[in-house]
A and B are shown apart, each in its own frame.
Chain A
Amino acid sequence: QVQLVQSGAEVKKPGASVKVSCKASGYTFTSYGISWVRQAPGQGLEWMGWISAYNGNTNYAQKLQGRVTMTTDTSTSTAYMELRSLRSDDTAVYYCARRRIAAAGTWFDPWGQGTLVTVSS
């Protein structure tokens, strides 16, 4: 079955960087994109950006431009999200999700299990 498995929880200090991985299985990795979505404690979902696993094209949320980089490794069907210059308000659960595209629309399915990133001094 289609599955996205993310890397484990991370604890980082302010100013550091974090790189979260998302390993895909059960489908042709390069036929879909991967979006990243985060959720701060007790808050809603926030779209961060997406990457095409076909050609590596990316589009990032404006508020994260310059701090976030999304990449893929097609040899291992893995997507990565790196966030730099971490601040306390980057503390969140980070999700990857496969981007589905059809004639009638685009949506996210399935989702990874989430990776908790804690930023604390």
Chain B
Amino acid sequence: QTVVTQEPSFSVSPGGTVTLTCGLSSGSVSTSYYPSWYQQTPGQAPRTLIYSTNTRSSGVPDRFSGSILGNKAALTITGAQADDESDYYCVLYMGSYWVFGGGTKLTVL
């Protein structure tokens, strides 16, 4: 049973930088898992932020960036704004199916 791990919660000050991570219960995340990231606010559908590890989706501000850090995928928000307060989900492609992480609730305060 593949488990994708994310921090349950994180907080950042306005204007600050935060890095959310996406790992595997066993093994390392690499670009071969095509990690992608989605932002979701309450009552709304997810919005695509990053795909293929580090490619920003159309219209996504450049303060959002993706990378591989060590053995995890990472989403970095540089210069956090109040409306970045959301849930963030990563998902990994396992070759024939996908597994979502449990999500990270980001608070901006």
Interface residues of chain A, those whose CB is within 8 Å of chain B, are 35, 37, 44-47, 49, 59, 61-62, 95, 97, 100, 102, 104-114
Q: B34 is contacted by which of A61, A105, A110, A112 (Cβ under 8 Å)?
A: A105
Interface string of B83-109 (1 = CB under 8 A from A): 000000101010011111111000000
A44-B103, A45-B103 known; A100+B96 contact, CB < 8 A: no
SS of A interface (majority): strand
Closest residue on chain B to residue A99 by CB atoms: B98
Q: Which residues of A contact B103 (CB under 8 A)?
A: 44-45
Question: Which of B36, B38, B40, B57 is the one whose CB lies under 8 Å from A105?
Answer: B36
Q: For this complex, into which size category does the number of interface residues on chain B fall? A: 20 to 34
Which residues in B have some Cβ–Cβ distance to A below 8 Å?
31, 34, 36, 38, 40, 45-48, 51-53, 55, 57, 89, 91, 93, 96-103
The 4 A-B residue pairs with the shortest CB-CB distance, nearest first, are A105-B34, A105-B52, A107-B51, A107-B36
Cα-based distance from A59 to B93 in the complex (angstroms): 13
Contact indicator A95/B45 (Cβ below 8 Å): yes
Contact A46 to B45, CB < 8 A, known contacts A104-B55, A106-B34: no
Task: Assess the B51–A109 pair: CB atoms within 8 A.
Answer: yes
**Complex Cα gap A104–B96 (Å):** 16
CA distance A46 to B38 in the complex (A): 13
Docked-complex contact A109 and B34, CB < 8 angstroms? no
A107 touches which one: B40, B52, B99 (CB < 8 A)?
A: B52
In the assembled complex, the Cα of A111 lies from the Cα of B48 at a distance in Å of: 8
The smallest beta-carbon distance between A100 and chain B, in angstroms, is 7
Which residues does chain B contribute within 8 Å of A108, judged by CB atoms? 36, 38, 46, 48, 91
Task: Determine if A44 and B101 form an interchain contact, defined as CB atoms under 8 angstroms apart.
Answer: yes
Offer 22 A-B interface pairs, CB within 8 angstroms, sorted by A.
A35-B98, A44-B100, A44-B101, A44-B103, A45-B40, A45-B46, A45-B89, A46-B100, A47-B98, A104-B52, A104-B55, A105-B51, A105-B52, A105-B55, A106-B34, A106-B93, A107-B36, A107-B48, A107-B52, A108-B91, A109-B51, A110-B48
